[in-house]
Amino acid sequence: MVRTFATGATRDVDASKLDYEGFFSPLVMERFAQYMHGKRKLADGSLRDGDNWQKGMPRDSYMKSGFRHFFDWWTIHRGWKKIALEPLEVALCGLLFNVSGYLHEVIKSRLDAEAWVEAVRDEVAREQAAREGGEQLELPLTGGADLRGLAAREAGDTTFVGQVGPAGLSAVRGREGE
């Protein structure tokens, strides 16, 4: 379907496209940016990059901090503003930061896992192509720039066992000590 504007210009209907402009509030984004900017100053007076948090933090850190901000939000919501440790907007911005950071880590892990699976599939298929039949391959997961090693270290995995046969690739990942 096509939209036609008064000027005669045309565009596709955007019903299936993500509506970033509609999903976000400029009021919220402005306040959140102010909050985040206020958190950039380090003890030595220097400013960290605004995207410093994207380098990665443990999920537990986001959870614990987020819960403290949630607790203040909840306390204020219940009418106990005087005992909250921070004002409502600060609590909400802190919660938004921690939820966003946690989600960022979840998505990074999913993307890393997908890349890991694809890299292992490719490696197993290459090695299997050099052999006849569907014999089992055991590939030690090592470090370095190898995606298997990166994903394995984070998950505690030490060995990938792959089987390529008529039905394709099947895989079992083992944990150290199993």
Confidence of residue 58 (pLDDT cuts 50, 70, 90): very high
Domain membership of residue 101 as a residue range = 19-175
Residue 2 lies in a domain: no
Amino acid at 31: R
Tell me whether residue 14 is in a domain.
no
Distances (CA, A) of 143 to 42, 63, 111, 115, 146: 33, 29, 18, 15, 6
Secondary structure class of 108 (helix, strand, coil): helix
Question: pLDDT, tens digit, for every residue of 87-112?
Answer: 999 999 999 999 999 999 999 999 99
Kind plus residue range of the DSSP H or E element containing 158:
strand 157-165
Q: Which two tokens stand for residue 88?
A: 């409502």
Query: What 3-state DSSP class applies to 42?
Result: coil
Quote the pTM value.
0.64
> In total, how many domains does the chain have?
1
In eight-state DSSP terms, residue 10 is E
